[in-house]
Amino acid sequence: MELFNGGHVALKDIPLLAEKEFREEVLLRCRDGARLANFFGSLEDGGNVRLIAILSVDEESELQIFSTKVLAESPRYKSLTKELLQAHLFEREIAEQWAILPEGHPWLKPVRYHTNYRAVPDLWKDITQQTIPGSYPFYAVGGEEVHEVGVGPVHAGIIEPGHFRFQCHGEEIIHLETQLGYQHRGIEPLMCGRDLKRGVLLSESIAGDTSIGHSTAFCEVVESLASCNVPIKAQAIRAIGLELERLANHVGDLGALGMDAGFSPTSAYFGRMRGDYLNLLLELTGNRFGKGLCRPGGVLFDMDTAMAEDFCRKLKRYKKEFEDVSELLFTRTSVLARFEGIGVVPLKIAKSLGLVGPVARASQLEQDVRIDHSSGMWQFYHVPISLAATGDVYARALVRRQEVMRSLEFLLKLLPSLPKGGIFSSLGPLKTDTLALSLVEGWRGEIMHVGMTDSQGALMRYKIKDPSFHNWFALTLAMRNQEISDFPLCNKSFNLSYCGHDL
Amino acid sequence: MLKILMTRFRQGCRTLSFPKGKLPVLPARYRGRPIIAAQEDSVDLGEITYIPDSGIRHSNDFRMAVSKREDLILKSDVDALAYALNKKIAKMFGRSLKLRQVSAGGCNACEADINVLNTPVFDLSRFGIQFVASPRHADGLVVTGPVTRNMREALLKTYEAVPDPKIVIAIGACAISGGIFANSPESSKGLDTILPVDLYIPGCPPHPLTILDGFLRLMGRIKKDQP
C-alpha cells in the first residue's frame, strides 16, 4: 500500500498481514533500500494491538504501510531488531507502551519509564515506582582498569535531563549508553480525543525549539483527515516559519560548537545572531519560538508586503554577518583540529541505523523531507541538499553552515514573491476510521506525525516521531574509542532533543 | 589574529542598556501582560500559555514576574506591578547571585530563552548573576518544566544539595501551574506543590527580558515602584 506525505488511508485498507508475512515484507523492503520511518502499535477491540510499520523509499518519494495484529491472549511477536537495527528503539517503545514482548530483542530495556496503555501488567515490574536510571541494566565492561562514569540527569549547563553512562579505559570510551525518559510528559495519550485546540498547543510543546516543525506536522495530519485545502499563502508563511526555526537553531549550534572547541568569539556572535532569527519569529508570530503560528486550516498571522520587505532587508544583512563569522570559525586551525576526525559516523552505520536530518547528511546519506517527500511550499521551490562526506564533528558543522546559506537563499527568493490570498480555510469534520500522516523536515531532520480516528471521527491514536528518536543511538556509537573529553563537543554536534525523544 | 580583531570590530557593542534608560519596546504582535477589560474578569498569568487565539488581549508589557503565586492572578482593579520582593534576599544576594538550573520536563523553550541571557545582548554576568554547574555552589534553583514524575527525585536531590539560605525561581507556565501538561498523570500541577517558590516568571516561554526583569527585581536591583 502506497501513501504520500500528507495523505490518508482508511484503516481497513491498510494491508493486514500475518506476523510472518509482515516480518518478511518489512525486512525484504528494507534490504532493498527502504527505511523504517515509523513503527508503532494501536489498540483495537478486545485488547488486541495492531502493529503498523511505515517505510520510506526516499529515492522514489514513496511511503509504504503494512500492519499485523498481536492478540491480547498472546502479546508477543518475533523481534526485527537483529536483522534490522532501525527497529531497535521502536520495538522497545512498543514493548513499553503496549506490554508486548518482541521475542529475541537484544537490548530490551525501558525507554521512558511509564505504565503501558493497555492496562495490563507491564513487561518491567514496578516500572513507575522506580526512578530512572534506577535498576536499569546498563551494559558494563569488566576488567581491572576499566572504570564507569555516570553523568546526569542534572547536567552542568542549562540543558535538558538525561543520563549518560560511560565505560572507560583511562580516557578512552569503550562504550556509552544513554538513558532518557526524564522529560516524559505523556503527550501521545493527551493528543487523543476531539480537542484539536489543545492538540495543536501540545504539538507546539513537544520540543520548544521545533515548535513550528511539530505544529506544522500536527496541522497537516488534521487537515488531511478533514480534507482541508490550506491556502497557499498560509503554506508560504509556514515555510518561512520553519526556515527561520532552522536558521536560529543551526546558527546557535555553530556558536555552541565553537564554544566547545574553545573558541569563544564566534560563540558570542553566533549566540547573538541566533536571537536575530528568533526576533523575526517574534515579529511574525508574537512568540520567539513561533508558538501560535500554525493552526489546523492555516496560520494565525499574515505577512504583508511591508513586513516581507523588512524581513528581506534584515535577512540580507544577517547573511553577510553569517558569512563573515562562519568564515572566521571555519578557518581557525585550532577549531578545525578539534572538529576533524571526532565522533565519526560512517555512511554504512548511518544507513543501518536509519539516521535522519543533518546528522545523516553529514555522513553523505542523501535524505531530506523537503526534497524526498515535498509538500506545501517545497513543491514549488527546490532547496539543494547539503551533504558532507566525513561523518565527523566537522561534517556536522559544515552541513549546518551550508543549510543556513540555503535557507537564507530560499527565504530571499520566497519573500519578494509571496503568494496572495487568505491564510485560513475552515475545517470540516474528521474522517472516520482513517489514518493520516505528515512528514516535515525539521531542523533536526524528519518529523513524522500519524493520526488515527475512530468510528466517531475522534483521534484514538496519535503517534509522534521526533528525528532525535532515530539519531540518539548514533551518538553512542560515534563516541566509541573517543576520548571522554570529546563528549561535550560531539554531543553538541548532534544536538538531539531530549523532550522530543521523551514525549 | 587580525581577522579575529576585525570581526570583533565589525560586530560592535550589542548589549542592551536595560534596566537603565527607556524600557525596550517589543514588536506589536508580542503577547505580554494581559489587558483586563471588565471589572469582574481576572486572568491567571501562571496558567495561560500566551497564545493568540485564547480570547485574552495582551499588552506589550514584558514585566510580569511576581514573588507570590496569588499576585499572578491579574484583576482589573489592581494596577498590579505587584513585586513585593524580600529585603533580606536583596541584601544577601543583591550583588552576586549564583543559580543552578534544573530542567524538570517541559519543552526546552524556557531553557533556550534562559540561555539567551548569557549572550552579549543581555550579558547577565554584568549584574553578578551566574549559572553554575554544581548545586553546592549555588544560592538557588531555577526550575523549568511541569516536574515530570521521572524528574521529581532528581529535582528534590538537587534542591537538598543547595546550601541554606536558598531561593527557588519557577520559570514558565509549566513550572508555575503544570501549564498545558497539568492534566497529564506524568506531571505535577506546579513547582510550588513540591518546593517553596520565591519568584514566579510567567510565559510560554517568558521573553528573556521578562526573566531578566524578574531576576533584577528579586535582587532588589530594580525597585518595586521603578518602572
Calculate how close chain B gets to A29, using CA atoms only, in Å: 35
Tens digits of residue pLDDT in A115-152 = 999 989 988 887 777 777 667 788 888 888 898 888 87
CA distance B206 to B172: 6
Categorize the per-residue pLDDT at B82 as very low, low, confident or very high, splitting at 50, 70 and 90: very low
pLDDT of residue B80: 56
Instruction: Give CA separation, B41 vs B33, B62, B76, B77, B177, in Å.
Output: 14, 21, 7, 10, 20
Evaluate the CA torsion angle A489, A490, A496, A501 in order and state its sign.
negative
Q: How far is CA B80 from the centre of its chain?
A: 17
Nearest to B10 among A156, A283, A324 (CB): A324
Cβ atoms of residues A256 and A484 within 8 Å? no
Tens of pLDDT, residues B8-22: 878 887 788 788 888
pLDDT band per the 50, 70, 90 thresholds, residue B77: low
Distance of CA B200 to CAs B63, B82, B89, Å? 12, 12, 15
Across the interface, do A209 and B104 touch by the CB < 8 Å criterion?
no
pTM of the model: 0.94
CA distance A72 to A121: 12
The ipTM value here is 0.90
Interface test with B, best of A124, A200, A274, A287 (most B CBs within 10 A): A287
Q: Is pLDDT of B84 > 80?
A: no
Residue A452 in this model has a pLDDT that exceeds 60 = yes
Does the pLDDT of residue A493 top 90, yes or no? yes
Grid coordinates belonging to B43: 486572568
Confidence at A410, pLDDT banded by 50, 70, 90: very high
Quote the pLDDT of residue A319: 94
> Chain B contacts of A113, Cβ < 8 Å?
150
| Nearest by CB: A201 against B51, B104, B118 | B51
Task: Please write the tens of the pLDDT for every residue from B26-64.
Answer: 899 999 988 887 766 788 888 888 888 888 888 888 888
Instruction: Determine, for residues A131 and B154 on separate chains, whether the beta-carbon distance falls below 8 Å.
Output: yes
- Would the CB atoms of B49 and A291 count as touching at under 8 Å? yes
Model pLDDT for residues A155-202, shown as the tens digit of each residue: 888 889 999 999 999 899 999 999 898 999 999 999 998 899 999 999
The pLDDT, as a whole number, for residue B37 is: 76
Looking at the complex, report in whole angstroms how far the Cα of residue A50 sits from the nearest Cα belonging to chain B.
25
**In chain B, which among 179-198 make CB contacts under 8 A with chain A?**
179-181, 183-187
Rounded Cα gap, residues A341 and A390, in angstroms: 8
Query: CA A101, A105, A108, A114 torsion: positive or negative?
Result: negative
Nearest alpha carbon to residue A153 among B82, B47, B157: B157
pLDDT at A499: 93
What is the rounded distance in angstroms from the CA atom of residue A182 to the CA atom of residue A133? 9
Q: Pick from B14, B49, B106: which is nearest to A201 by CB?
A: B49
User: How many Å is the Cα radius of gyration of chain B?
Assistant: 18
Closest alpha carbon to A245 in A269, A215, A221? A215
Q: Over the stretch A352-403, which tens digit does the pLDDT of each residue have? A: 999 999 999 999 999 999 998 888 888 888 889 999 999 999 999 999 999 9
Q: Give me the mean pLDDT over the A207-224 stretch.
A: 95
Higher pLDDT, A1 or A5: A5
